[in-house]
Structure 1
Amino acid sequence: MLILAQLHGQPEIFHSIQGEGVSQGTPCIFLRLAGCNLACSWCDTAYSWNGTVPGVRLTPEKTAELVLRYPCRRLVLTGGEPLLQQKALPSLLRLLPEHAVEMETNGTIIPDAQLLERITQFNVSPKLPHSGNDAGRAWKPDVLRRLADTEKAWFKFVVACEEDVKTILRQASRAGIPAERILIMPLAATREELDAMRAPTVEWCLRYGLRFSDRLHIAIWGSKKGV
């Protein structure tokens, strides 16, 4: 059994483009799982884990049926933190053998071998101190190193200032994260905030030789959910 986030009274499964990370712009099906082991102060999907909206329980079979309504064959498992439900995910993915699978994760939980084999790409988003999480819970160097070693992982960091970028480079090196696998993206929840943060973030990318990630879903739809 899987527990999905609920949006507008329905399990949150939708067809859109990837808004962030190395595959941004790519058509995908998004499946938002409920629950998270962190509590970021700026989280734009807090309803998926904070208890304000109850989750929807679905069998892997029913979930696969809903995913297969769409012609796209690239699935993004997002949350919340999808790895909290990793024991149930292989049963779903066996029903979707033709799908490439991206997994969004905060980098605090190691995927088991069965799931690791099936994931095409990990989009890892480790949390910096401005997320409001305790550093001991949010930054797990051993987990990040294991994910980096898979060679399937890209690491995207939300930044609010240049000091965040310096922190990323310092801590990423200690966790074995290659600089060429790092993307930085602006801390922004609205179009206006994104417009204000985009130029300085690009400047930091140029200064430190890092890859920029936009937030296309915000640029296009603002704070609208389920797109």
Structure 2
Amino acid sequence: MKFKVVEKFVSINGEGTLAGQLAVFIRFAGCNLNCSYCDTSWANKIDVPYELMTNEEIYNYIKSTGVRNITLTGGEPLLQTGILELLKILSNDKELHVEIETNGSVPLDKFLNMKNPPSFTMDYKLPSSNMEDKMLLDNFKYLSAKDTVKFVSGCMEDLEKAKYIIDKYNLINKTHIYISPVFDKINLETIVDFMKDNKMNGVNLQVQLHKIIWNPNERGV
């Protein structure tokens, strides 16, 4: 089995519970969604350049970096043919911490039956994404304390829907919760004021560190 890898690099985690820590990023080609604010849409184009890599080649590259945090991203990594086999190889190495960035439209249950399952950073696509109807609400019951739900918000309607979902599915007591702004679409003060007004204890505001450190359109960072 070979995977279409459009990027592989070492950088810092720009988001989530490991923000600021080194990570190896493996970005796969292709996605089943088309979010209005997607900042990696180039990776989803049919003619995107890619490198074909086997399970073993990906694992060997990861080990060669000496970095223990692994982020599988895309595109949508869980749609890759053979991804379960790759996850089993990675899970057998107890030195690695594997995180998967997934868009919320792919069932998670079949990826949990392994000795050392990955952690998921799962999006819930809010109204401004134009993809909310693709969300699989059943996924919430498979999340645990090591996982994260990310709400990318670009307007007040998004924030209100995020709060509704957080409350309805009791996410605060289940997993990590992050609200992330759509870059250049909403003021950070607006999000903080909304969190204050609604007493959103246990919710984290995050900014994308990589877009602060480097040019927001820079790749491989």
Bucket of the pairwise TM-score, normalised by the shorter protein: 0.7 to 0.9
Point out 4+ residue stretches in structure 1 off by more than 6 angstroms. none
The match for 1:225 is 219
| 1:215 alignment partner, one of 208, 212, 221 | 208
Q: Which residue of 2 aligns with 1:50?
A: 45
Residue 195 of structure 2 corresponds to residue 205 of structure 1: yes
| 1:40 aligned residue (35, 39, 53) | 35
CA distance in 2 between counterparts of 1:177 and 1:116 reads 24
- Say which of 143, 159, 173 aligns to 2:153: 159
Q: Partner letter of residue 131 of structure 1? A: S
Structure 1 residue 87 displacement after superposition: 2.6
Aligned length: 213
After superposition, the Cα gap between the structure-2 partners of 1:83 and 1:176, relative to the gap in structure 1 and judged at 3 Å, is farther
Cα 1:29–1:144 change in 2 (3 A) is: same
After TM superposition, the structure 1 = structure 2 runs for residues 65-104 of structure 1, keeping only pairs within 5 Å, are 65-85=60-80, 86-93=83-90, 96-104=93-101
Query: Which residue is equivalent to 2:116?
Result: 118
> Per the alignment, do residues 113 and 66 of structure 1 end up closer, same or farther by CA in structure 2, a change over 3 Å counting?
closer
What amino acid is the match of 1:211?
N
TM-score (norm 1): 0.83
The partner residue of 1:132 within 104, 114, 130 is: 130
- Structure 1: gaps (5+ residues): 7-11
The CA distance in 2 between the partners of 1:212 and 1:19, in whole Å, is 13
Residue deviations 1:116-137 (CA, integer Å, cap 9, x gap):
643342111111121122x332
| Secondary structure of 1:87's aligned partner | helix
Are the counterparts in 1 of residues 127 and 157 from structure 2 also a CA contact under 8 Å? no
Could you tell me how far apart the structure 2 residues matched to 1:116 and 1:91 are?
7
Structure-2 separation of matches of 1:98 and 1:161: 40
Letter in 2 for 1:158: V
Partner SS, residue 22 of structure 1: coil
Structure 2 letter corresponding to 1:90? L
Structure 1 residue 28: deviation in Å? 0.8
The amino acid across from 2:68 in the alignment is R
Q: Structure 2: any 5+ residue segments left out of the alignment?
A: none
* Aligned 8 A contact 1:107 1:144 in 2: no
| Aligned match of 2:3 | 3
Secondary structure of the corresponding residue to residue 187 of structure 2? helix
The alpha-carbon distance between structure 1 residues 176 and 4, as it changes in their structure 2 partners (threshold 3 A), is farther
8 Å CA contact 1:108, 1:144 repeated in 2: no
Q: Which residue of 2 aligns with 1:187?
A: 182
Q: Distance in 2 between matches of 1:49 and 1:56?
A: 14
Inter-partner Cα distance in structure 2 for 1:49 and 1:115: 29
Distance across 2 between alignment mates of 1:87 and 1:120? 11
Q: % of aligned pairs identical?
A: 32
TM-score by length of structure 2 reads: 0.85
Q: Distance in 2 between matches of 1:84 and 1:113?
A: 12
From the superposition, tell whether residues 226 and 110 of structure 1 become closer, same or farther in structure 2 (CA, over 3 Å). same
